[in-house]
Chains A and B, each alone.
Chain A
Amino acid sequence: MTMPGTDTAGEALRPHAEDAFAHELKALEAADDRPRPARWKLSPWAVATYLLGGTLADGTVVTPKYVGPRRIVEVAVTTLATDRALLLLGVPGTAKTWVSEHLAAAVSGDSTLLVQGTAGTPEEAVRYGWNYARLLAHGPGREALVPSPVMRAMAEGSTARVEELTRIPADVQDSLITILSEKTLPIPELGQEVQAVRGFNLIATANDRDRGVNELSSALRRRFNTVVLPLPATADAEVDIVARRVDQLGRSLDLPPAPEGLEEIRRVVTVFRELREGVTGDGRTKVKSPSGTLSTAEAISVVTGGLALAAHFGDGVLRPCDVAAGILGAVVRDPAADRLVWQEYLEAVVRERDGWKDFYRACREVSA
């Protein structure tokens, strides 16, 4: 679940995955002697290695793109190889988009066939549109057609990506059904169709906390294999991710680095994990979970906010009082129920914990 910095940054502010890790992909392609599905740049094994990292026979070190359970990546890659579409689900901040981009880059060498899902995504973005100037000048024909990324992927036999699938209006979502089940896209205006060639597949991402935005129809759902990306498995992994991202963000905001803050980061992560999982870190006491997500991404913003507070209004050292207000804001989303959850957690867990006196007091102060 890490997002290592892209060290081969060219002119682009953020290069595509296939450009940023071109040397790794090349080395993998050279070392890969396993069978590849039609039009795949790499074998499924090499795609999994690209995502999970490893050292190749020629000594090339492949950096891990995704730090998390191996089986998740294996199931995802296998799904693409069985020509079923892949749906990546997860709460915000679980690297869904990141994984989808790298999968597309490794499988097809092209991660740019992307449809960004929003409430205003039109059907043209999934199927095709028209170049009206050409349409008027030359009449209907393939030249006047503006293919969508999905249509291009079908024609080329590569991987298309749909981001935030559940934000797309339901009727537009359903235009994917024919594409995924019949593997064809009819163009009734021309009496033609575009048939997907082998190698075509589709990766969609969706946020599973956004229930009820535009729930997938069961017909569409059946066309997908679903993989849920989990939150970091251990506290250490999460502290690591938060610390690294906070460091990166802090540098771009010109905040002072805070090595002493690691204790505070660990505390924020501990609080988030315990409330999220509904049980204390030692597994002995259960606690209620609030309504918010409490994702890693939120922990990062709490710590960044705390750092800014410490830098501009404090002595530059991250202290309990700097993060307390941020935590309260992240935890208490529903003023009545969540406040109760938070107070109970404070009294039952935080108060008794060794070395957490200052934190308890700071939280009491902002909660009162």
Chain B
Amino acid sequence: MSPGAAQPLLLGVRHHGPGSARSVRAALDAAQPRAVLIEGPPEGDALLALAAEPDMRPPVALLAHAADDPGRAAFWPLASFSPEWVALRWAQARDVPVRFIDLPAAHTLAEGPGADEDDGGAGSVPVDPLTALAGAAGYDDPERWWEDVVEHRDADSAPDPLAPFAALAEAMGALRETHGDGGRPGDLVREAHMRQRMRAARREFGADYAVVCGAWHVPALRARTTAAADRALLTGLPRTKVETTWVPWTHRRLARAGGYGAGITSPGWYAHLFAAPDRPVERWLTKVAGLLREEDRQVSPAHVIETVRLARTLAALRGRPLPGLTETLEAVRAVMCDGSDVPLALIEDRLVVGDVLGEVPGTAPAVPLQRDLTRRMRTLRLKAEAQSRDLELDLRKDTDAAKSLLLHRLRLLGVDWGVPTASRTGTGTFRETWRLCWEPELSVRVAEAGIWGTTVPGAATARAEAEARGAGELGEITALAERCLLAGLSEALPAVLRALADRAALDTDVARLAGALPALARSLRYGDVRGTDASALGTVAAGLAERICVALPAACAAGLDADGAAALRGHVDGVHGAVALLADTDPGLRERWSGVLRTLAGRDAVPGVIRGRAARLLLDGGRLPAEETARLMGLALSPAAAPADAAGWIEGFAGGNAGGGTLLVHDERLLGLIDTWLVSVPPDAFVDVLPLLRRTFGAYEPGVKRSLGELVRRGPGAGRARSASRAAPEGFAPDLDPARADAAEALARLLLAAAG
């Protein structure tokens, strides 16, 4: 193809290829066309002027979304090394008209959610032209083939800047002959539209214009078709109203598939190739050395020299013209990183992908997230007022629940419009009180949050998932899970739970695990109130409980001091409560937890306070017969036991929450054991255990204290003698006292009737 013939200049490229970008620039310089047409949505034409502004810094993306539903959106990302961006800036610098010629987003977005991926979504990639061509050339890696034949060519010194495009077009032509539309019927419609726009351009500029498009489309754009046939393909397409804007983009997001379809794995490397004036490998390895030095690894210039040599020889061994990314990284691993993958992961993250963030001018139209928020506020009748006011929500009402969800989601996005405050009217789980206050900077926050998505739920989900990936502490993730449930983000939940399960599996501190479990069990209850599906959460919580069951006995036996023992005793209580809630998910769990408690209660190395607590929990659960309880208490309080430990046992068993005192009032045998032990404590030790005992018994209610005092004054022996003579249940008098029973009967009837 020569530019002199009556044919437009068709420049087939790979989206985001630095070699393509250089070639495009060289070709445009050589041909000097009067107009440039670019593959992209024509709705973006109005925004082209913004691209010339000095504040515009790639990577940026052209965003098109349905006006009534910002969730239906498509992005066309452009990096500094994208051929499209190069062509755009080339034209703008010379006042040459630029146009986008792809099928309007109005049509592609109207087709529904399936159409939000432009170049054939990730779900269906029937023929990848690069893979096919690379396979034909004997390469197993298409990326490498492309690097060798296109990216590594030095476009500036090539004799004919148009030759590579001709060769590529020919290859694609051969591919299209065998594969047709490549399994993407949508391409035919898009190409028909591009041809129509080319016809319009021809009327205006003659044949003296250039087209920059994916190489795959070149043969179709050159094909001879009639305008009528193309028009027929384009009639009757669905339409929707579309709005467009520029949004800042990042290298990290370029690395994902989407928008232009071809997600690239190494944007940082490509940016380097495009920006480096010469010696790309040497410059790249110097950059790598710089990064490693910043991370306090010793990397000398000698290392860099050896790495360059290794990379070159490796490329020669593999028969490649220049070392590519794989060769340089393998050389870096062998020479600079002692064969380790850890520093290499850092290089991948910082340099190969990179942290570059684009900028768009402030005059770009508002981000769709702001519109979505405005729309939701209108539906829910919430006004953004600077003056702070309180909002009472009853979550059983639909509107109130929706308001709560919106506020929770905004908080996840860092937009603290509403802050939850203590409720004035009771603390039921179905009530929430918020303090609303719209500060002006919240608008900025919304714009910043625009990078996470186009709708409030979508953005909040993306943000929560990212936070789950980055979270360090187990506690952070459980809190995040709770917030996700509050915000109704069930789609983010799998990612959060995954992170939670991973973190829990690797956490060796049983106290942290035990601390996290009650919060999870609580979240399960929220899930119930709000109707969120939290069954997955239940599974994770059960898994957590399982790990605690395994690790707890060892942790309790590991030479704890008094504070540590007290803390763990609290955890034992917390886990016990959580297990009761979780028993629905995993029926065997309760049984295993009892086993753990039994181990704890019977193991001498465990501190007294925990042993006592375990015995008490077992007794309350009906899993420890009274004789066994008495035996355990007898063992714990026998003269061989250290008095401090024995006092701890009593505290664990009878202290803390309510009911301990009552238990002793009713079971005189246990009281008798304590009494006997107390009398036998030697005077020196008594002073030591006194504070513990005081803490245990001092917390009882006055009535219980009085009863205990009376029982002890009467002497425990009397009670025991009686219960031994008759076969009465432990802790009960042998005979019924009719007068007292009658008095209670009326109340019992009343209670039963009320419950019924």
Whether, in the assembled complex, A347 has its beta carbon less than 8 Å from a beta carbon of chain B, the answer is yes
Cα(A228)–Cα(B338), bound, Å: 8
Whether, in the assembled complex, B502 has its beta carbon less than 8 Å from a beta carbon of chain A, the answer is yes
Please give, as numbers and ranges, the residues of chain B lying within 8 Å of A286 by CB-CB distance.
501-502, 505-506
- A348–B314 CB distance below 8 A: no
Please give, as numbers and ranges, the residues of chain B lying within 8 Å of A340 by CB-CB distance.
550-551, 554
Please give, as numbers and ranges, the residues of chain A lying within 8 Å of B331 by CB-CB distance.
75
Residues 264-305 of chain A, each 1 if its beta carbon lies under 8 Å from chain B, else 0: 000000000000001000000111100000000000000000
Cα(A6)–Cα(B331), bound, Å: 33
Q: Given A71-B330, A226-B338, A344-B551 in contact, is the A77-B310 Cβ separation under 8 Å?
A: no
Whether, in the assembled complex, A343 has its beta carbon less than 8 Å from a beta carbon of chain B, the answer is yes
Q: Give the residue of A71, A78, A222, A336 whose beta carbon is less than 8 angstroms from that of B310.
A: A78
- A225–B306 CB distance below 8 A: yes
Whether, in the assembled complex, A362 has its beta carbon less than 8 Å from a beta carbon of chain B, the answer is no
Q: Give the residue of B300, B334, B501, B505 whose beta carbon is less than 8 angstroms from that of A79.
A: B334
Please give, as numbers and ranges, the residues of chain B lying within 8 Å of A92 by CB-CB distance.
none
Residues 148-170 of chain A, each 1 if its beta carbon lies under 8 Å from chain B, else 0: 00000000000000000000000
- B339–A228 CB distance below 8 A: yes
- A81–B313 CB distance below 8 A: yes
- A84–B317 CB distance below 8 A: no
Cα(A288)–Cα(B333), bound, Å: 27
- A82–B339 CB distance below 8 A: no
B575 smallest CB distance to A (angstroms) = 15
Q: Given A226-B338, A344-B547 in contact, is the A285-B501 Cβ separation under 8 Å?
A: yes
Q: Given A78-B317, A81-B313, A226-B339 in contact, is the A288-B505 Cβ separation under 8 Å?
A: yes
Q: Which of A77-128 contact B (CB under 8 A)?
A: 77-79, 81-82, 84, 87, 89
A351 smallest CB distance to B (angstroms) = 9
- A48–B303 CB distance below 8 A: no
B342 smallest CB distance to A (angstroms) = 11
Q: Which of B270-302 contact A (CB under 8 A)?
A: 298, 300, 302
- A221–B338 CB distance below 8 A: yes
Whether, in the assembled complex, A44 has its beta carbon less than 8 Å from a beta carbon of chain B, the answer is yes
Return the chain B residue nearest A72 by Cβ: B330
Whether, in the assembled complex, B421 has its beta carbon less than 8 Å from a beta carbon of chain A, the answer is no
Cα(A74)–Cα(B330), bound, Å: 10
Please give, as numbers and ranges, the residues of chain B lying within 8 Å of A44 by CB-CB distance.
313, 317
Cα(A299)–Cα(B559), bound, Å: 36
Whether, in the assembled complex, A234 has its beta carbon less than 8 Å from a beta carbon of chain B, the answer is no
Whether, in the assembled complex, A252 has its beta carbon less than 8 Å from a beta carbon of chain B, the answer is no
- A82–B506 CB distance below 8 A: no
- B550–A84 CB distance below 8 A: no
Please give, as numbers and ranges, the residues of chain A lying within 8 Å of B302 by CB-CB distance.
222
Residues 200-230 of chain A, each 1 if its beta carbon lies under 8 Å from chain B, else 0: 0000000000000000001001100111100
Whether, in the assembled complex, B508 has its beta carbon less than 8 Å from a beta carbon of chain A, the answer is yes
Return the chain B residue nearest A342 by Cβ: B550
Q: Given A71-B330, A75-B310 in contact, is the A228-B550 Cβ separation under 8 Å?
A: no
Whether, in the assembled complex, B194 has its beta carbon less than 8 Å from a beta carbon of chain A, the answer is no
Whether, in the assembled complex, B546 has its beta carbon less than 8 Å from a beta carbon of chain A, the answer is yes
- A75–B508 CB distance below 8 A: no
- B334–A226 CB distance below 8 A: yes
- B549–A347 CB distance below 8 A: yes
Whether, in the assembled complex, B374 has its beta carbon less than 8 Å from a beta carbon of chain A, the answer is no
Please give, as numbers and ranges, the residues of chain A lying within 8 Å of B570 by CB-CB distance.
none
Whether, in the assembled complex, B42 has its beta carbon less than 8 Å from a beta carbon of chain A, the answer is no
Please give, as numbers and ranges, the residues of chain A lying within 8 Å of B313 by CB-CB distance.
44, 78, 81-82
- B547–A348 CB distance below 8 A: yes
Whether, in the assembled complex, B335 has its beta carbon less than 8 Å from a beta carbon of chain A, the answer is yes
B144 smallest CB distance to A (angstroms) = 12
- A225–B335 CB distance below 8 A: yes
Whether, in the assembled complex, A45 has its beta carbon less than 8 Å from a beta carbon of chain B, the answer is yes
Of A74, A221, A225, A286, the most chain B CB neighbours within 10 A belong to A225
Return the chain A residue nearest B592 by Cβ: A347
- A288–B508 CB distance below 8 A: yes
Q: Give the residue of A45, A71, A79, A344 whose beta carbon is less than 8 angstroms from that of B550.
A: A344
A136 smallest CB distance to B (angstroms) = 45
Cα(A299)–Cα(B340), bound, Å: 25
Whether, in the assembled complex, B309 has its beta carbon less than 8 Å from a beta carbon of chain A, the answer is yes
Please give, as numbers and ranges, the residues of chain A lying within 8 Å of B94 by CB-CB distance.
none
- A82–B505 CB distance below 8 A: no
- A285–B505 CB distance below 8 A: yes
Whether, in the assembled complex, B318 has its beta carbon less than 8 Å from a beta carbon of chain A, the answer is yes
Return the chain A residue nearest B510 by Cβ: A340
Cα(A310)–Cα(B338), bound, Å: 44
Residues 305-342 of chain B, each 1 if its beta carbon lies under 8 Å from chain A, else 0: 01001100110011000000010001101110111110
Cα(A288)–Cα(B506), bound, Å: 6
- B306–A82 CB distance below 8 A: yes
Cα(A89)–Cα(B505), bound, Å: 29
Return the chain B residue nearest A45 by Cβ: B317
A133 smallest CB distance to B (angstroms) = 44
Cα(A99)–Cα(B693), bound, Å: 71
Residues of chain B at the chain A interface (Cβ within 8 Å): 298, 300, 302-303, 306, 309-310, 313-314, 317-318, 326, 330-331, 333-335, 337-341, 501-502, 505-506, 508, 543, 546-547, 549-551, 554
Residues of chain A at the chain B interface (Cβ within 8 Å): 44-45, 48, 71, 74-75, 77-79, 81-82, 84, 87, 89, 218, 221-222, 225-228, 278, 285-288, 336, 340, 343-344, 347-348
Shortest Cβ-Cβ A-B pairs, 10 listed: A226-B339, A286-B505, A228-B339, A225-B334, A286-B502, A78-B314, A226-B338, A78-B313, A344-B550, A343-B550
12 further interface pairs, Cβ-Cβ under 8 Å (given A225-B334, A226-B338, A340-B551): A44-B317, A75-B333, A79-B310, A81-B317, A82-B313, A218-B298, A222-B302, A222-B303, A226-B334, A227-B334, A340-B554, A347-B549
